[in-house]
Amino acid sequence: MTQFDYDLFVIGGGSGGVRAARIAAAEGGARVGLAEESRMGGTCVIRGCVPKKLMVNASAFPHLIEDARAYGWQVTGGAFDWPAFRATLAAELDRLENAYRGTLKGAGVTIHDTRAVVEDAHTVRLATGERFSTRHILIATGGWPFVPDIPGRELAVTSNEMFNLPALPKRALVVGGGYIASEFAGILNGFGVQVTQYYRGAQILRGFDDEARGHVAAAMQAAGIIIRCGTDVARLEQTATGIRAETIDGAAEEFDLVLYATGRKPNAHGLGLEALGVEIDTAGAVKVDDWSQTAVPSIFAVGDVTNRVNLTPVAIREGHAFADTVFRGVPTQFRHENIASAVFTQPELGAVGLTEEQAAARGATDVYVASFRPMKTLFAGRQDRMLMKLLVDVETRKVLGCHIVGEGAGEMVQLAAIAIGMGATKEDFDRTVAVHPTAAEELVTMRKPTRRVGQTA
Ligand code: NDP
């Protein structure tokens, strides 16, 4: 039997790669090497979910300070000290990166802090010139922000730069209508930046439930964000006073910062994969089967590089399933269904299952909607409304989807996802006694459908 240097070599130290490496080594007894050319932890920890959520938290304080006053506290809000926050954030990311390293080392994984490429089906080559033979290779190289090829694109920043800006701008343009664009629009607005968001389509957050995205967009606008739909940047130009953005319809505005959040592309090229027969699809992603295996049997891929569902917890589950299958003798496929997620816009959007539009296309659906002013902010004199929505199959009474907009939406939808994943019916929800007084109790107290959509079979 061939003796390899490693049983598994993982390229990429992000969410998917780290989980696979740890499980293969600690629970599968595999000899594992992992190469990471940047910082351990990948997009989620270093330039994504984690710092983003901390920035969302930081940007929410102006409201909290106002609420505190309404609740009787004699507080005065001061200015936001971006450099101070940025330094604390950087220290927290250092701590997390070290924790990731510690976990891998504790599991017995050998870390190579350099770039690696695939030389053949069982060999990786490091940028240092070292080569290692390995029984299996896992590609977990993630994705990278994509900026369309418009004149002046070099003047724009991407989410990568947002955590380390030298100073906060006065006027910002956010281009795109997805998760990242909408989340940063809220963050910057909370920090006191004047924010304009351009989105080429009719409504931001395409793919989410129409009513929920409309609710989020209206609240973002009410909070002061200018959302311009149906427009796009044609060119960017540096002027003496800022960056001039000319739109496709010939209008022009000036900003101090232009953030492009127009999607991400898989990091699949330049790894030597195509030459070996690993297929890359038209979106530039590594093609894998349900076992995350590529066309080359010894090479697997997980996470954003495969462009299935680009979320950290999904990459983790794909990496775990791979390690269980290949190194623990427990064949496991991760099924990409009923994946709950949250968009940390302000207000937050939590969603699981079908949207109303998808449910209606599938068949007759009862739509239960509650829209109300939550007690906490109502008392403080805020106009915020929460939205809760359940989509119920008329025939089976199964809850097909749940959409929540408002404070704690992500937390609530996590729990709703358990029930929905178990096949809960509307009657199961109704039988559940409310926890009072909470906002979440609305989920179990919606008695009558607001409307019925879709055709009966
Ligand atoms: P998304 O794919 O969510 O959004 C991209 C946005 O950019 C869309 O509005 C899209 O418009 C627009 N767009 C794409 N190409 C162009 C172009 N050439 N010109 C103008 N506009 C364009 O990508 P994001 O970058 O926001 O996020 C990347 C991934 O990261 C997401 O898929 C998500 O899975 C993940 N993510 C998850 C988060 C969470 O769970 N909270 C947070 C952040 C990211 P259109 O709708 O018309 O295609």
Q: Write the pLDDT tens digit of every residue in 96-141.
A: 999 999 999 999 999 999 999 999 999 999 999 999 999 999 999 9
pLDDT grade for 455, boundaries at 50, 70 and 90:
confident
The predicted-structure confidence for 78-93, as pLDDT tens digits, reads as follows 899 999 999 999 999 9
Answer yes or no: is the C-beta of 304 below 6 A from any ligand 1 atom.
no
User: Residue 1: pLDDT above 80?
Assistant: no
Answer yes or no: is the C-beta of 180 below 6 A from any ligand 1 atom.
yes
The predicted-structure confidence for 156-177, as pLDDT tens digits, reads as follows 999 999 999 999 999 999 999 9
Give the DSSP letter string of 222-285: HTT-EEEES--EEEEEE-SSSEEEEETTS-EEEESEEEE---EEE--TTSSHHHHT--B-TTSP
Taking residues 172-195, report their average pLDDT: 98
Taking residues 273-288, report their average pLDDT: 97
Distance 293 CA to ligand 1 centre (A): 26
Residue 86 to residue 24: CA distance in whole angstroms: 36
Answer yes or no: is the C-beta of 344 below 6 A from any ligand 1 atom.
yes
Nearest to 100 by CA among 192, 4, 12: 12
The predicted-structure confidence for 49-66, as pLDDT tens digits, reads as follows 999 999 999 999 999 999
Distance 447 CA to ligand 1 centre (A): 36
Taking residues 350-372, report their average pLDDT: 98
In DSSP terms, 264 is beta-bridged to: 145
Answer yes or no: is the C-beta of 350 below 6 A from any ligand 1 atom.
no
User: Residue 273: pLDDT above 90?
Assistant: yes
Give the DSSP letter string of 89-150: HHHHHHHHHHHHHHHHHHTTPEEE-S-EEEEETTEEEETTS-EEEEEEEEE---EEE-----
Q: What is the pLDDT of residue 350?
A: 98
Answer yes or no: is the C-beta of 431 below 6 A from any ligand 1 atom.
no
Which residue, by CA, sits nearest to atom 33 of ligand 1?
310
pLDDT grade for 2, boundaries at 50, 70 and 90:
confident
Q: Which atom of ligand 1 is nearest to the CA of 176?
A: 7
Q: Decide if 436 is catalytic.
A: yes
Q: Which atom of ligand 1 is nearest to the CA of 344?
A: 41
pLDDT grade for 185, boundaries at 50, 70 and 90:
very high
Taking residues 355-368, report their average pLDDT: 98
DSSP 3-state of 34: strand
Q: What is the pLDDT of residue 423?
A: 98
Mutate which of 46, 175, 213, 264 to test ligand 1's pocket (most atoms within 8 Å of Cβ)?
Answer: 264
Q: Identify whether 449 is preceded by a cis peptide bond (ω within 30 of 0).
A: no
Q: What is the pLDDT of residue 457?
A: 57
Answer yes or no: is the C-beta of 200 below 6 A from any ligand 1 atom.
yes
Mean pLDDT of the chain: 97
Mutate which of 46, 197, 262, 306 to test ligand 1's pocket (most atoms within 8 Å of Cβ)?
Answer: 262
What are the distances in angstroms from CA 343 to CA 52, 205, 220, 292, 404? 11, 9, 13, 26, 11
Answer yes or no: is the C-beta of 197 below 6 A from any ligand 1 atom.
no
Q: Identify each DSSP E strand in 299-380 by its residue range.
A: 299-301, 341-343, 349-353, 365-372
Answer yes or no: is the C-beta of 263 below 6 A from any ligand 1 atom.
yes
Percent of the chain with pLDDT strictly greater than 90: 98
Q: What is the pLDDT of residue 195?
A: 99
- DSSP type of residue 379: H
Distance 283 CA to ligand 1 centre (A): 14
Domains of the chain: 6-144+265-327 (3.50.50.60), 153-262 (3.50.50.60), 341-449 (3.30.390.30)
Which residue, by CA, sits nearest to atom 46 of ligand 1?
206
Distance 405 CA to ligand 1 centre (A): 19
Taking residues 202-220, report their average pLDDT: 98
